[in-house]
Structure 1
């Protein structure tokens, strides 16, 4: 499961970087009338870029360390029966108003 999550993270980061290279300038162009919004958007993109680099490295490391084995055997584990719920000693039931 961790392998799939890491792979999905890398895919999402790849989509972000391709959007950044291909389409982010067009979205920044739409903010030209408000310099505050443009500055916030540039700051948000800079933070997202800086966060995506170590996230991608951790995703690659996770994929390498948790790569699924081809010769693995799936073992069916017995289901646990739910234990009956015990009421605490201070439970008053119907007596409480």
Structure 2
């Protein structure tokens, strides 16, 4: 079974992680410097950044693995589904509650 949304979600996660690392490289020091009036807030912000950095590394690795495993096929066949006609019985997996 092919799931194109899993590939796209993994790719989007990699984009978000890449943007975070870019911000971390370019702008996080300004955030910490802006908290100079409260050392407690500066320590909490530094701790939060350290935790997010450590979480982003395995998340990026898992996203790359998911992209490799669910890479979309270029030569896949598209099978159109026939529309449900009113008065026709619903398929058994829809049940009676299908809208």
TM-score by length of structure 2 reads 0.79
1:43 aligns with 2:47: yes
Specify the structure having the higher radius of gyration (Cα): 1
Distance 1:11 1:40 in 2: 26
1:68 aligns with 2:78: no
Distance 1:50 1:2 in 2: 23
Structure 1: 5+ residue runs without aligned partners? 86-97
TM-score by length of structure 1 reads 0.81
| Structure 2 partner of 1:34 | 38
Structure 2: 5+ residue runs without aligned partners? 85-89
Moved >2 Å (runs of 4+):
76-85
| Structure 2 partner of 1:11 | 15
Q: What whole-Å deviation, never above 9, does each CA across 1:3-23 have from its counterpart, x for those lacking one? A: 000000000000000000000
In the alignment of these two chains, the number of paired residues is 85
RMSD: 1.6
